[in-house]
Structure 1
Amino acid sequence: MKPSLQLKLSQHLALTPQLQQSIRLLQLSTLELEQELEKYLQENPLLERMEEEYAPPLPGTNDTDSDTAEASVNETDTATSSADDESWLGDEEDSNYQSASSSGSFDDDDGDYQDVQVATTSLREHLTAQLGLMSIPDRDRTLVQCLIEALDDDGYLTQSLEDLAETLPAELEIEPEELQIALNHLQCFEPTGVGARNVAECLALQLETQPADDTQALALNIVRNNLDLLANRDFVKLKKLIECDDEQLRLAQSLIRSLNPRPGSKYAALDARYITPDVVVRKLRGQWTVNVNSDAFPRLRINSLYAQILSKQRGSGLAGQLQEARWLIKNVQQRFDTILRVAQSIVDRQRQFFDHGEVAMRPLVLREIADLLGLHESTISRVTTQKYMATPRGIFELKYFFGSHVATETGGACSATAIRALLKQLIGSEEQKRPLSDS
């Protein structure tokens, strides 16, 4: 076969740098957007923030109603482990497990120094320091360090030893049995309970360090074999299985409640994040309207001095940065225009929610908004993730207004959020002495 030339037509989608930037900005939260813009402002001298007095009115905003709603969200409140599922622990452990710094005196300089050390030492650093004091073979030391890196913020080992063995280099020929030995070393570290693979193991490790008596033995039996019954408060069945009376069970329960189901939490950095809503919802003249939150909208412009220099010097190397600055300003504006359109569409469809609350929430899916606005579902997904709406009923993520539906007897559909709200109302209004049955 001799070589020949052939003409072939094909279609492909090319993402220009401007389009890539637009997609990236759209999926960022307000905080992430501010961080991204700061990077652009430092790198591009043609870009600058607009002074407040020169700021033009925003599309869809009312300058007389530019209230800022902010909600403080503490990262430590997010559910990061199965320990949060054990609601029986309540909030009592918070008072039982203060950091070492709380015991220091304000008049003691050494105590103040320790406070700073406790606040700035992470769980991994704390465990690694203990590992350095151990006299074990280098191979075991390396495996313990691998386990330390695999722990989550609460001190749990969420991966199985078999899965961890597969992630290590094959040439090391690590067996799960070796990792088990390393885990035994790790579980001897402080805080007690670190390295556990579930709540039951975490509590059992802490109980094993308690003085051995009947209460400790009973508590160990409960956490190892019947923790689910204690969590569900099925005390009748629990007493029958472990063969104890009310007083013995009360003492064992009190001992278990004194334990810490999240041993690594006191080493977690307390980072308070503030949510600035992207849009604000108000009822004006009987209609629910959405406005862009002026505090969330970054005001950018081209530096006039550099722009004048470029107009006189065609061959300047700043021409590319000028184009980038224009793209950024346009994409930021387009980002908020898209958020505003999506938010207004959501409000129009969920206006019953704003009037009557969760019980009036209607089923809504991304495709419905996408078809209405002529956008792709992936775009709606980006817009509704980590974007927040301030309303008279509170601050909600845009994604909150979407949810699954349940078919009704009449052939219609009801939102799962509305059903949950109705169940809460029923339970809240039931007689305490005659609670409603499941049926």
Structure 2
Amino acid sequence: MKQGLSLRVSQHLALTPQLQQSIRLLQLSTLELSQEVEQMLDENPFLELGEDHAEREEFGIAQADTPVSEGDKDVEFSATMPDLGSSTVASTSSDEDNSPLSGDEGIDWEGDGTTEMTPDDGEWGVEAKASTNNLTGDEDKDATELARTQESLQAFLHRQTLGLRLSAEDAAALRFLIESLNDDGYLEEPLEDLARTLNPQDEEQLYDLVHHFSVALGLLQSLEPVGVGARNLSECLSLQLKALLRNPDLEDEEREQLEVALRICQQPMELLARRDIKRLVQLGVGSDALVREAIAQIARLEPKPGRRFIDVERNIVVPDVLVVPVTNANKAAAPKFRVMLNPDVMPRLKVHDIYANVLRNHRGGKDSASHAALQQRLQEARWFIKNIQQRFDTILRVSTAIVERQKSFFTHGELAMRPLVLREIADELGLHESTISRVTTAKYMATPFGTFELKYFFGSGLGTESGGNASSTAVRALIKQFISAESAKKPLSDNQISEMLKEQGIECARRTVAKYREGLKIAPASLRKAL
């Protein structure tokens, strides 16, 4: 094998640490950004939360409309590639220096190469106040803590058992069954299987455990909410109907109706799900009229007794952007809207002046390596503040473009939504589609019609008779409007809705209507029909 030297010219993209951080911050949600800021505040001593308003960076929103070069677009797009490690600057860490103030050796935060420190590091601020919890009352409790104060099903049942006079064995069995309930209040496992989990020594001990569990089950099913402790849906509904039948003030007609409903629940549940009245009448459950009334009564029962106790994590959405209508003296003129960032989600950060001044006054010295590490930390803090400001500037630019394109929505609602794709906004702002995708993910906009994710304003188009396009969001809203105005006795089928859309000039197939209806969580016509 012959060895030789050769020259080769090639191009490759290198994502600097600054650009990597900018891209990562851009795709973070508000909560994730808050966590990132807290982590950076803990790690970097040169970074602190400011209280006063600071001047904005020179590259801010005033110059935000400058078109991005094709090279920058390629760099943005390269961030979506899975093998970032092959195209990014390598980072190494020194095992010898474990000081928390030492910077990463391989990451260079020098930016444009200048090492001079600004005379006043207070200029590196972001014009916004620190994130708050939006509570006007107790400042020590946030919304998540308030949401978790709801009593659980198990705690509610245990509190009821305090008034029962039980033996130690029955009380223990009842506690065991309560803790074995699922979130819906059902006891999924058979009593014998639950008894075997306690590892009985022989069959006699197993029989004794099952006996105690049977007694405890009867006690459990007598507690509130009615229907708790049921093994299946049929038993759950039957327990609620039996509780209603115990009312001594019932009229004869009401009692007969409840008895028919109880007999229906003892039949296969698929007959009830299909509302197969004809088959239920053939089984001798009751007359046609009584079966219809009984099914209506069953529909008012609670199929999941523990549903209201489920401690669902309440994700409180804090909008990143606020859209406020601007009052216009001329009422005949088109309405205008003001787009602005929500100051509650913007962290007010600045460089710690005291630490920066000390580092400036003690330049050089004996320990130049430590001085260089601290200087790198200072530059890292500056770039972090810059990238956060650039993140919010980009969000504001994209949001302003969306509002401009969807003016009809902000005036008339979702029925006036027009088709919009990421490329349209990307071309208008001179950014790459991947950047628009990052900006519109997990970012929310507060509008006069509610709070929506930025992605909500993008949607494909359906053809119309006039040759234009109708937004899929507007079509969904139109379908919802048709169904809300339908007759309960004669609900609209998917085919009828498709024909109604064609009358409006929108070409929408029946299968597309079914897909949109299922997306709106609307039942088919057979289940929407009133008895």
Shorter-chain TM-score range: 0.5 to 0.7
Higher alpha-carbon deviation: 319-328 or 345-354: 319-328
**Equivalent in 186, 197, 220 of residue 134 of structure 1:** 197
Q: CA offsets, 1:116-143, max 9 Å, x none?
A: xx99x997xx99xx98971579xxxxxx
CA distance in 1, matches of 2:271, 2:16: 59
SS at match of 2:337: strand
Partner of 2:99: none
Residues 214, 328 of structure 1: CA spacing in aligned structure 2 closer, same or farther, 3 A cutoff?
same
**Equivalent in 297, 304, 319 of residue 353 of structure 2:** 304
What letter corresponds to residue 314 of structure 2 in structure 1? A
Q: CA deviation at 1:409?
A: 1.3
For 1:253-264, list aligned pairs within 5 A.
Answer: 260-261=303-304
Higher alpha-carbon deviation: 39-48 or 243-252: 243-252
SS at match of 2:26: helix
Partner of 1:101: 155
**Equivalent in 246, 271, 279 of residue 313 of structure 2:** 271
Partner of 1:170: none
Q: CA offsets, 1:249-289, max 9 Å, x none?
A: 765786687565597985x5443332221111122344223
Query: May I ask how many residue pairs the two structures share in their alignment?
Result: 331
Partner of 1:337: 393
Q: CA offsets, 1:189-246, max 9 Å, x none?
A: xx99xxxxxxxxxx974547979x99778536543x45652xxxx4546647867445
CA distance in 1, matches of 2:402, 2:323: 11
Judging by fraction of residues, say which structure has more helix: 1
What letter corresponds to residue 380 of structure 1 in structure 2? I
Partner of 1:42: 42
Q: CA offsets, 1:160-187, max 9 Å, x none?
A: xxxxxxxxxxxxxxxxxxxxxxxxxxxx
For 1:13-412, list aligned pairs within 5 A.
Answer: 13-51=13-51, 53-56=52-55, 99-103=153-157, 134=197, 205-207=232-234, 218-219=264-265, 221-223=267-269, 225-226=270-271, 228-229=273-274, 234-236=275-277, 239=280, 244-245=285-286, 246=288, 247=290, 260-261=303-304, 266=309, 269-284=311-326, 285=328, 286-314=335-363, 315=368, 316=371, 317-412=373-468
Q: CA deviation at 1:424?
A: 3.4
What letter corresponds to residue 407 of structure 2 in structure 1? R
SS at match of 2:10: coil
Gapped regions of structure 2 (runs ≥ 5): 63-126, 136-141, 165-177, 201-219, 222-229, 240-258, 329-334, 500-531
CA distance in 2, matches of 1:73, 1:431: 41
CA contact (8 A) 2:263 2:285 kept: no
CA distance in 1, matches of 2:295, 2:430: 61
Q: CA offsets, 1:45-98, max 9 Å, x none?
A: 1000110x33457959xx9xxxx9979999xx9xxxxxxxxxxxxxxxxxxx97
TM-score w.r.t. length of structure 1: 0.61
CA contact (8 A) 2:234 2:265 kept: yes
Partner of 2:70: none
Partner of 2:206: none
CA distance in 2, matches of 1:214, 1:409: 53
CA contact (8 A) 1:69 1:277 kept: no
SS at match of 2:392: helix
RMSD between aligned alpha carbons?
4.7
CA contact (8 A) 1:407 1:414 kept: yes
CA distance in 1, matches of 2:194, 2:19: 49
Gapped regions of structure 1 (runs ≥ 5): 78-96, 111-117, 138-190, 193-202
Residues 15, 103 of structure 1: CA spacing in aligned structure 2 closer, same or farther, 3 A cutoff?
same
What letter corresponds to residue 307 of structure 1 in structure 2? A
CA distance in 2, matches of 1:398, 1:345: 11
CA distance in 2, matches of 1:396, 1:349: 16
Q: CA deviation at 1:104?
A: 6.1
CA contact (8 A) 2:46 2:355 kept: yes
SS at match of 1:5: coil
SS at match of 1:14: coil
What letter corresponds to residue 339 of structure 2 in structure 1? V
**Equivalent in 464, 470, 480 of residue 414 of structure 1:** 470
What letter corresponds to residue 197 of structure 2 in structure 1? M
Partner of 2:172: none
CA distance in 2, matches of 1:331, 1:322: 14
CA distance in 2, matches of 1:293, 1:358: 23
What letter corresponds to residue 265 of structure 2 in structure 1? A
CA distance in 1, matches of 2:293, 2:234: 16
Identity of aligned residues (%): 45
Residues 242, 291 of structure 1: CA spacing in aligned structure 2 closer, same or farther, 3 A cutoff?
farther
TM-score w.r.t. length of structure 2: 0.52
Q: CA deviation at 1:428?
A: 4.0
SS at match of 1:8: coil
CA distance in 1, matches of 2:198, 2:311: 30
What letter corresponds to residue 306 of structure 1 in structure 2? Y
Residues 321, 358 of structure 1: CA spacing in aligned structure 2 closer, same or farther, 3 A cutoff?
same
